[in-house]
């Protein structure tokens, strides 16, 4: 999870990713940032994020993003 936090902080260092629960709903992550985040996740965690998984709920907190990554890793 620390690597994910590093990636998120690299995209927008002004957010406390350990506690924030509204990254998308609170507009901390916009669509372009999410695309960059997906690219970083796929590269760093060796997973592919299917289009059907790119929904606000999966990206609203670092915890939810991490759960998505873990689920995708388990599917590999």
Q: Indicate which CATH number applies to the domain containing 14.
A: 1.10.1200.10
pTM over 0.85: yes
Total tally of structural domains belonging to the chain: 1
> Tell me, what DSSP letter sits at residue 36?
H
Q: How far apart are CA 75 and CA 14, in angstroms?
A: 33
> The domain containing residue 62 runs over which residues?
2-75
List, as own/partner pairs, every contact residues 65-72 make where C-beta atoms lie below 8 angstroms and the sequence separation is at least 24, other chains included. 65/4, 65/8, 65/37, 65/41, 66/1, 66/4, 69/4, 69/41, 69/45, 72/45, 72/47, 72/48
> Which residues of the chain fall below pLDDT 70?
76
pLDDT for 75: 82
């Amino acid at each position: 999870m620390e690597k994910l936090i590093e990636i998120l902080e690299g995209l927008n260092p002004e957010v406390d990713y350990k506690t924030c629960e509204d990254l998308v709903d609170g507009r901390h992550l916009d669509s372009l940032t999410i695309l960059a985040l997906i690219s970083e996740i796929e590269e760093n965690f060796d997973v592919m994020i299917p289009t059907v998984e790119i929904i606000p709920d999966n990206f609203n907190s670092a915890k939810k993003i991490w759960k998505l990554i873990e689920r995708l890793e388990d599917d590999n």
